[in-house]
Every structure is written in C-alpha cells, then in structure tokens.
A and B are shown apart, each in its own frame.
Chain A
Amino acid sequence: MPAGDGPTTTVTDGPVDGAVPTVAAETATVDAATVEAALVTPMVRRRTGRVIAGVSGGVADHLGVDVLWVRAVFTALAGLGGAGVLAYGLLWIFMPQAPADTAPIETSPRERQQALGLAAVGAGLAIASGVLGGTAGAWITGPLGVALVGAAVVWREADESQRRRLLRTGAGSVLGQGPVGLVRILAGVVLVGGGLAIFLLGNVNLGQLQFALLAVGAALVGVAVITVPWWLKLMRDLGAERSARIRTQEREEIAAHLHDSVLQTLALIQKQADAPREVRRLARGQERELRNWLYDPKGYGRAGSPSQAGQTLATALASAAAEVEDTYAVSVQSVVVGDSSLDPQLAALVQAAREAMVNAAKHAGIAEVSLYVEVEADEVHVFVRDRGAGFDPDAVSPDRHGLADSIHGRMERNGGSVRLRTAPGEGTEVQLQMPRRTPADAGAEQVGT
C-alpha cells in the first residue's frame, strides 16, 4: 500500500487508534457539507460550530465549499479598506439563523483556533489598511472600529437570546436573559456609544452647529445599529406568527366544518338506523355536501351553496338535482359537459329539467335518475332519464299539468323544444333542447371547468 493513501483505507483497519477518529470526523463534516449543498440549502447562519456569528459557516454550507476558504476570503477582503468586515456585518444582518432543530456541527479545536486567528488577522488588516491607506484616517478607523466591536457584541447576544427562547419555546423577552446577557448588552452599548463619542470628540474643531448635528446623527446611528437585531427579529417573528395563525385558523375551520356536518350526520344516522330510506337520504346529502366542500368550486355536478346558486348553468342544475335528491330520496347521477352563464332562457331550461327529474322520482319507482347536460356553441341539450316504469304518453289524462305546463309550455315559450321517449316498462327519457342566445360572447365567457 503506498504511503499517503486516502483516509478511508486507514479507517478500515483499526490499530492506529489515535488518528482514526479525527480522520473520520473530517470526512463526516465534508460529507455533511456536500450533502447539504446538493440539496441547495438556503443561506442561513450556523447555530453551532461558529466563531463569531456563523456567517462563514452558513456561506460555506450554501456554496458547498470548505469553511476555511470562506474565512480566508473574508480576511483577505478585510485588508481592502475593511470591505470584508463590512460584508460580514451586512450578511450577519440579512442572513437568518438556522432553525433550532438543525443537527449540531462538530468542530475540532484546531479549526476553531484557525478561525480565531483568521478573525484577528482580518481585524488587524482592516485597521492597518485604514491607517495606511489614509482613506478614512486613523481617527476614524479607531473609534468606529470600537463602535463596530460593540455592535458585534450586542448582535451576538441577540442571537443567543433568540436561541434560548427557541429552546424554551416560550415567549421570552427580546432582551437578553439573566445577568450575563444584560452585561453583554450593556458592554456592547457602551462600546458603541464610546466609539461614537470618541469619533465626535475628534471633530471638536467643527463649529457649534455642525457639532450638534453630527452628535445627533451619531446618536441615531448608534441606536439604529444596536437595535438592528430586534427590528429584524420583530419582522421575522411577525411573519412566523402570521403563518402559524393562518395554519391554526385553517385547522379550526376544518374541525368546525367536520363537526357541523359529518359528525352530526353520523349521529343522525345512528339514531335512524332502522329507517333505511332516511339513512340513505342523510348519507347522500352529506356526501354531496362534503364533496362540494372538498373539491374545487368549479368542478362537476356541484351543488352550489344557497348563496351562490344560480350563477352558472352547471351550479343551477346541480342545486336543482340536489333538491330533488333531498325531497324524493332518489340519487341523481349528473354529468355536465361545458358550462355557460345563466340567462332567462337557460333558467327556464333548468326549471324544466327539475320538473322532469321530479316526475322521474315520483312516478318511475326507481332509485336513480340520470341527468346529462351538454353545452354546445349554439345550443344546450339536457337529458333526464330513468329506467323505471315508463308510461303511455297518449294515455296521460289531460288534467295532469306537470308535463304539459311545466315542461312543454315552459320550453316552447322560451324557444326550446322537448322530445319524449317512453313506453310502459321501458323507462322514460325527456330530452330538452334550448338555443343559446348569444353563442359568440357566451361561449368566450365561461366554458369548461
């Protein structure tokens, strides 16, 4: 075996005890990083295995590269007039923290040392470049640097308190908890305030007015910098709280609906167990209602709720069918192809179709009626069919008005026509046809599902 072979071969045979765990740990972290990268993780700051705020770790997880490289880049950028420090600060503000349930990331002490060293080098480079470059002058780099460190301390404490709050899952205060948190925040505030004060004192040679303006401006900047974490947290919490509230509302609505409808019906069915006709009626009504509620409001055979009934031909027919089902304890199997907005002619068609269904339910002596509706470009066809007793149309006594008035009369008054196919024992089919008044614009309006 050649020397310096891949680490995997050393892992398989165990005798070299000391080296094995670290090697394994290293490969494990690399694996975790690549796996996470493969899933295109969102940019989030690490909670564990971090040195300052977990920004570098988060960026590395997101890009799928080693953390060391990211840290090196930030350090190098810090040498360019403090750009790395600025970038780090901005990312700190805008990257959310990883969720609390993320698996902890192991870091070796060596890696921590490296990271701390790089952070120190970065800070040094930023200060040095400020001093040497003369872009801002040492008198700015110094006090503002102090202010930045203060801001960092405050922000970090905000992160910590947020994590503790999430761990307890209770609503804690925005401020840090316990004396340690308070001390940290106070230290941060003092650093920020002190830095800004020194910065101002460096400018005493300014006029009174300018000095006052600058002081007010600096105070505002200080307050803004210190409160950034809370503003951000407030916004995020608001979003999280809103989505949680929406979820709860939805769940409550579903529970309420099931209680009002399904559970009540089941209770009724148990009470009426010895009346099969009534049980069937209840079950059918409940099924229709639940279907109606579950599926998309523009689907087929839909019983429109009373408030919106009659909006389109399909919903009007569906509610007519539902009414017949409920009143006469038959089931209406309805198939609707196409749809159209309702005009007076089509409303008359719906009435006639309803009458035909009622006739079938009352006289045919069967449990099922078929309703088929097809909306074409220039006319609408409705077929109401049963496989029941049938009758002889010529033998219907003239004092029976249902068919003559409600169907024939109504259709003819509105320009439609009726055909009847029936014979004793053969079932009955009523065929209704109604022209559409304005096929062009009605067709463009509401066709299909």
Chain B
Amino acid sequence: MTAPEEPRAPRTGPVTVFLVDDHALFRTGVRAELDNAGAAGVRRVTVIGEAGSVNEAVVGITHHKPDVVLLDVHMPDGGGAEVLRRARLTDPDVVFLALSVSDAAEDVIAVIRAGARGYVTKTISGRDLVAAVCRVADGDAVFSPRLAGFVLDAFADRPGAAPISDPELDLLTPRERDVLRLLARGYAYKEIAAELFISIKTVETHVSSVLRKTQLSNRYELSRWAADRRLV
C-alpha cells in the first residue's frame, strides 16, 4: 500500500464499475440506479460488466480492468473476500467497494481487512452510491456510519484490553476519533469539514488513515472479527 496522502489527479472520464453479486435481480437494480443517478450527477458512472460468482468475477475483473468493483460480501465459494484476495494478486490497482445487507461486524471488518476501500449497505440511495463510487475511485475511503461505529468500538480504550504493540497502528489520533464520531452521526464529509474547521481534503486524509489502521492493526477486536470469517 502506498502512502494515502499522495495526491492523485482526479480522473475526468466516466468511472467504470464492475458489479459482483450472486443475485441477478439485485445487479439489474444497481445497474439501473447507477445509470439514472450518474446521468443526473456531475460525474458519469458506467457499468462495464457484472459477475454472479467468484470465478466469473476474477476473470471479468482481469479482463475489463474497471476503476471500481462493487462487491457483494455474501456469495457462495468464499464470498467477496475470496474475490478480493484473488483479484488483488493480478490487479492491485483496482479498488473495491463492499456492498452488503449484512450489518454484522464480522462481515464489515472482514472485507475491509481483505482490502476493500469502503463499505456501504445495500439500502443506500442511488445518489449516495454514485458519490461513494467516485470517492473510492479517487483513492479515498468510504465509511458508512455503522462501519465508523465498529472502528470506534474496536479502537476504544477499555479496561483489560490487550497491550498496544504498535502505537502507530493501534491507536487513533484525537482528530481521527472526532472525524469518525461525526461519520457515525451521519455527517457528510462537507459537514464534517465545516464542523471541525478543516478542509474536505483533510477529512479525506484522516479517513484514509483510519482505513489503513483498520486494515493493518493487530487490535484484538479487529483480528477476532476477521478471524470469525477465517480471513486473517
């Protein structure tokens, strides 16, 4: 993983998206929503392919080289985490946004630990989904309020917690904590920036840093949640 604060040139063309979900009905729905919302929004989002199984997905991602993969967490043959593991071997530049109905900490943390850049629930509106896709395409992280809650919980200081082995990874800075709290309260990045008197860019940097810590930290809760899905 490269340094998250490295500036990226914002892409100008449409963001290409690959859909992975084992329910064809759901894929059709997302495709329609993305097309509608993308047409109305500032940036276009184009669905360039879809897959209904792990193998299909890995082949499709290698072939199409999309900007963003929208990934279902629960699928037969290993689920989203398996797709992540295999596709990232061949295409490390493709970014993944996990999309799931499950709100269980094990699922959310597991896909994040496997390398997804964000997590949103399937009830998200079309507009918000387009915004989330664009955000991960630009290299930033997307935290749903619930994911922010899980991360806050995992990094909480509580009596009897395991000792901190790597403060760089195992502790959140007070600022990161503030940003996460506001995310959990349902604030948009713009509102967080206004609330904390910082720029949106700084908010994004904080969120990316929290994502990195969530992926790499050895905090007990994080590794336990991931271990429950055999993903460490």
CA of A338 to CA of B145 in the docked complex: distance in angstroms? 15
Contact status B159-A443, CB under 8 Å: yes
Residue of B146, B148, B149, B160 contacting most chain A CB atoms (<10 Å): B149
Name the residue of chain A whose CB is nearest to the CB of B225. A449
Query: Which size bracket describes the interface of A in this complex?
Result: 20 to 34
Interfacial chain B residues near A335, Cβ < 8 Å: 145-146, 148-149, 184-185
Let me know if B75 is at the binding interface, CB within 8 A: no
Contact status A299-B158, CB under 8 Å: no
Let me know if B152 is at the binding interface, CB within 8 A: yes
Contact status A444-B103, CB under 8 Å: no
Contact status A448-B103, CB under 8 Å: no
Query: Contacting A295 at CB < 8 Å: which of B104, B159, B184, B221?
Result: B104
CA of A295 to CA of B106 in the docked complex: distance in angstroms? 11
Name the residue of chain B whose CB is nearest to the CB of A367. B125
Contact status A336-B149, CB under 8 Å: yes
Query: Contacting B185 at CB < 8 Å: which of A295, A331, A370, A377?
Result: A370
CA of A444 to CA of B159 in the docked complex: distance in angstroms? 7
Query: Contacting B103 at CB < 8 Å: which of A300, A338, A383?
Result: A300
Beyond A295-B104, A299-B105, A301-B103, whether A374 also contacts B152 by CB under 8 A is yes
Residue of B123, B160, B185 contacting most chain A CB atoms (<10 Å): B185
Main secondary structure of the interface of A (DSSP, over half): mixed
Query: Contacting B156 at CB < 8 Å: which of A300, A337, A370?
Result: A337
B171-211 interface with A by 8 A CB criterion: 181, 184-186
Interfacial chain A residues near B149, Cβ < 8 Å: 300, 335-337, 372
Let me know if A333 is at the binding interface, CB within 8 A: yes
CA of A427 to CA of B123 in the docked complex: distance in angstroms? 22
Query: Which size bracket describes the interface of B in this complex?
Result: 20 to 34
Let me know if A447 is at the binding interface, CB within 8 A: yes
If A295-B104, A333-B186 are given as contacts, then 10 extra A-B residue pairs at C-beta distance below 8 Å, sorted by A number, are A300-B103, A301-B146, A338-B153, A372-B181, A372-B184, A372-B186, A383-B185, A385-B186, A443-B159, A448-B158
CB distance from A331 to the nearest CB of B (A): 8
CA of A99 to CA of B81 in the docked complex: distance in angstroms? 36
List 19 A-B pairs, Cβ < 8 Å: A295-B103, A300-B105, A300-B150, A333-B186, A335-B146, A335-B185, A337-B152, A338-B158, A370-B145, A370-B185, A372-B145, A372-B149, A372-B186, A374-B152, A374-B184, A443-B158, A444-B159, A447-B159, A448-B156
CB distance from A322 to the nearest CB of B (A): 14
Contact status B153-A448, CB under 8 Å: yes
Let me know if A242 is at the binding interface, CB within 8 A: no
CA of A449 to CA of B148 in the docked complex: distance in angstroms? 15
Let me know if A257 is at the binding interface, CB within 8 A: no
Q: How many A-B residue pairs have CB under 8 A?
A: 63
User: B: which residues have CB within 8 A of A?
Assistant: 103-105, 123, 145-146, 148-150, 152-153, 156-160, 181, 184-186, 221
CB distance from B225 to the nearest CB of A (A): 9
CA of A185 to CA of B148 in the docked complex: distance in angstroms? 71
Name the residue of chain A whose CB is nearest to the CB of B181. A374
Interfacial chain A residues near B184, Cβ < 8 Å: 335, 337, 372, 374
CA of A372 to CA of B152 in the docked complex: distance in angstroms? 12
Contact status A337-B159, CB under 8 Å: no
Let me know if A112 is at the binding interface, CB within 8 A: no
Beyond A301-B103, A333-B186, A370-B186, whether A338 also contacts B156 by CB under 8 A is yes
Interfacial chain B residues near A296, Cβ < 8 Å: 104
Interfacial chain A residues near B145, Cβ < 8 Å: 333, 335, 370, 372
CB distance from A376 to the nearest CB of B (A): 9
Residue of A335, A377, A383, A443 contacting most chain B CB atoms (<10 Å): A335
Contact status B153-A449, CB under 8 Å: yes
Beyond A300-B149, A338-B153, whether A291 also contacts B103 by CB under 8 A is yes
Residue of B104, B149, B159, B186 contacting most chain A CB atoms (<10 Å): B186
Name the residue of chain B whose CB is nearest to the CB of A339. B153
**Complex interface bits, A332-366 against B, C-beta within 8 A gives 1, otherwise 0:** 01011110000000000000000000000000000
Interfacial chain B residues near A444, Cβ < 8 Å: 159-160
CB distance from A436 to the nearest CB of B (A): 14
Interfacial chain B residues near A299, Cβ < 8 Å: 103-105
CA of A370 to CA of B148 in the docked complex: distance in angstroms? 13
Contact status B185-A385, CB under 8 Å: yes
Name the residue of chain A whose CB is nearest to the CB of B108. A300
Residue of A296, A331, A337, A448 contacting most chain B CB atoms (<10 Å): A337
CA of A385 to CA of B31 in the docked complex: distance in angstroms? 31
CB distance from A296 to the nearest CB of B (A): 8
Interfacial chain B residues near A374, Cβ < 8 Å: 152, 181, 184
Interfacial chain A residues near B221, Cβ < 8 Å: 448
CA of A215 to CA of B159 in the docked complex: distance in angstroms? 70
Contact status B146-A300, CB under 8 Å: yes
**Complex interface bits, A428-449 against B, C-beta within 8 A gives 1, otherwise 0:** 0100000000000001100111
Across the A-B interface, the 4 shortest Cβ-Cβ residue pairs: A370-B186, A335-B149, A372-B185, A335-B184
CA of A370 to CA of B188 in the docked complex: distance in angstroms? 12
CB distance from A387 to the nearest CB of B (A): 8
Name the residue of chain B whose CB is nearest to the CB of A336. B149
Beyond A300-B149, A337-B156, whether A449 also contacts B185 by CB under 8 A is no
CA of A337 to CA of B159 in the docked complex: distance in angstroms? 15
Interfacial chain B residues near A338, Cβ < 8 Å: 153, 156, 158
CA of A338 to CA of B186 in the docked complex: distance in angstroms? 18
CB distance from B212 to the nearest CB of A (A): 21
A393-449 interface with B by 8 A CB criterion: 429, 443-444, 447-449
Interfacial chain B residues near A383, Cβ < 8 Å: 185
CA of A448 to CA of B152 in the docked complex: distance in angstroms? 11
CB distance from B200 to the nearest CB of A (A): 18
Interfacial chain A residues near B105, Cβ < 8 Å: 299-300, 449
CB distance from B194 to the nearest CB of A (A): 11
Interfacial chain B residues near A372, Cβ < 8 Å: 145, 149, 181, 184-186
